[in-house]
Amino acid sequence: MTQLDPLILNPSLGAVIEGHWIELPIAGPADRNVLVLVGGVGIITEGTLDTEDEDETADTHIWIETGYEFADGDSFDPAPDAHDVSAAVQLASINVDGSDPFTLEISKVQARKITPLELATIVLKGGQEGGQVEPGPGTPGPATSNDELVIIVTVHQSGDCSLQRLGYRAAVRLFRVDPNRQVSGPHGDLNL
Amino acid sequence: MTTPRRLYASNQSEVDSAQWIDVFLGQGNQHMLIFSGIAMPAYDSYNDDFNREHIVVMFDQVVSAIVQASATVGLASIHNTDSDFVFATDSVSVFRDDDSGRLALDCQLAVQGDYSLLSRFSYHAVVIASIDEPYVSGLIRWDPGVTGPRSQQLLHPIHSTPSPPVSPLFKITALRDLSSPSDPSYPIAVPTPLAFTSETPAPTVGADGLHQVPYTLRLGNVPNAVGEPFYLQGAIEPGAFPHAHTELVLEQTSGPSFVTLSGSHLHEDGVDFLVTAVQVPK
């Protein structure tokens, strides 16, 4: 079994296309005042998630950097029973050789906040372990200055096929110290 | 029309990574609910026909009505041997199950191939729905030894003579102290009623031997009932206890002195009252 872990899709390198988000004020619950909605498509560089035949399988953790950076002091509870986070991912583009059996499966999805340090550590660890840490050649993109929203997807595949794109949507309910402040990021500031 | 197959978001063997968010929009009793997850219908095909399946994903959230809804579904897990194939998520919608009041996602799938398997599909639904209404509830209790017999029998008589209308015994009022606009230079906080209830359900006898009736003060259509504090005031209706030998008052015995309802705290239960005798100073 081939283990590619983790694969990080970084928006600053064009790995996430049409990434976008909405921030809107909410009236409750009492300790939450902002809702963030994020969506986009994560691109996987050609040849990265390929399997060749039925006997070859791969299980991959894909970290989709959405490009959404939280404001200082933003807080929410990532635990599932806190109901602050929701994320969905779908197979958006696949390439299959129809003459062989294949399986492509998204088995787990979660969204969470990641610090720049944690992200850098994972990028470094992934590089050391032989995993591909970014879709394009070269080094990881510019480090973010704030915590970022990432979507972690567990993908299983086998057969002569490749996974090329993943569509994603996520929502985060959070408390912001200054709810009137909207955040900016590599895909633009909605305040503009 | 086939009967849809139901998958339950609360069952991890039927829906994986099920997540939901509930936010209060600050408008009436409307909430925005966001659902996501991976449904696992494991629907397969052994031929070249289009095989269609109707799936309903049941959520746990009970709502009064759907105001608006938007949903998407997409392929999450597919498998095929060496045949031609089609995997399709043909349609999706959100509806309220009339029997349970729960929200649900309706999805039509299609699979073709020998052999093909649509094992999973992902969903993301955003629903603005009316959920419940704010209220305050509790018990009103009294000791017959203190109050004496009630003025009338609240239970229906056995013989089927028409029962006269039952007069309420108690009145629970929600109030907020608002500044009087009559003289801005000399503001006076005036207790201003928001809502009241005068229900008279049949009393029961509690474990402590006291008689009790439940009450519910509904605040669904009361402006600013949610978000701003108010307090409750209980009153005994005239003539409720005509045989009492002392003056009676209705005092709050549990629950907060000031009730503040919010989107995540629409109900304040356990706000109880007790009929007590006024202590006359000697």
Residue B180 lies in a domain: yes
- The per-residue pLDDT of chain B, averaged, comes to 86
DSSP 3-state assignment of B137?
strand
B149 with B112, same domain: the answer is no
The domain boundary, picked from B103, B130, B157, lies at: B130
Most confident of A30-39, B109-118, B126-135, B242-251: B109-118
B73 plus B186 within the same structural domain: no
**Boundary (domain end) residue, out of B130, B159, B184:** B130
Residue type, B212: Q
Contact flag A90-B20 (C-beta cutoff 8 Å)? no
> Rounded to an integer, what distance in angstroms lies between the CA atom of residue B274 and that of residue B266?
24
pLDDT recorded at residue A5: 59
**Could you tell me which residue, A146 or B6, shows the higher pLDDT?**
B6
* Total domains, chain B: 2
Question: Mean pLDDT lowest for which of A1-15, A175-189, B155-169, B214-228?
Answer: B155-169
Q: Would residue B252 count as lying in a domain?
A: yes
> Alpha-carbon distance B178 to B191, whole Å?
6
Of residues B44 and A3, more confidence is placed in B44
Q: What percent of chain A has pLDDT over 90?
A: 41
Assess if residue B33 is contained within a domain. yes
Q: Specify whether B155 is located in the same domain as B260.
A: yes
Give a yes or no: residue B49 inside a domain: yes
Q: Is there a domain that residue B178 lies in?
A: yes
**Mean pLDDT comparison of A142-156, B41-55, B215-229, highest-scoring range:** B41-55
B79: chain A residues, CB-CB within 8 Å: 101-105
Enter the tokens of residue B111.
């699979």
B82 contacts A87? CB cut-off 8 A: no
Is B282 part of any domain?
Answer: no
Confidence (pLDDT) at A3: 46
Same domain, B147 and B273: yes
Last residue in a domain, options B89, B105, B130: B130
pLDDT higher than 90, residue A29: no
The pLDDT assigned to A135 comes to: 40
Range of the domain at B13: 5-130
Are both B140 and B273 inside the same structural domain? yes
Pair B69, B162 in one domain: no
DSSP SS3 for B72:
strand
CB B75 within 8 A of CB A90: yes
Q: Residue B3: pLDDT band by 50, 70, 90 thresholds?
A: confident
Can you read off the two tokens belonging to residue B100?
């349970």
pLDDT band at B279 (very low <50, low <70, confident <90, very high): confident
Q: pLDDT tens for residues B137-174?
A: 899 999 988 888 776 554 444 444 444 556 788 999 99
Mean pLDDT, range B43-70, rounded to an integer:
92
B148/chain A closest Cα distance in angstroms: 45
Q: Is A87 on the interface with B (CB under 8 A)?
A: yes
> For position B93, what pLDDT does the model report?
97
* Total-model pTM: 0.67
In a domain, B222, yes or no: yes
Question: Do both B118 and B160 map to the same domain?
Answer: no
C-alpha–C-alpha distance, residues B129 and B62, integer Å:
10
Q: Do residues B102 and B209 share a domain?
A: no
pLDDT at A78 over 50: yes
Q: Are residues B121 and B165 in the same domain?
A: no
pLDDT tens per residue across span B240-263:
888 888 899 999 999 999 999 876
Min distance A171 CA to chain B CA atoms (Å): 8
Same domain membership, residue B174 and residue B92? no
Q: What is the ipTM of this complex?
A: 0.84
**In this structure, are B12 and B93 located in the same domain?**
yes
Picking from B82, B123, B227, the nearest residue to A88 by CB comes out as: B123
The nearest alpha carbon in chain B to A39 belongs to: B124
Residues B220, B154, single domain; the answer is yes
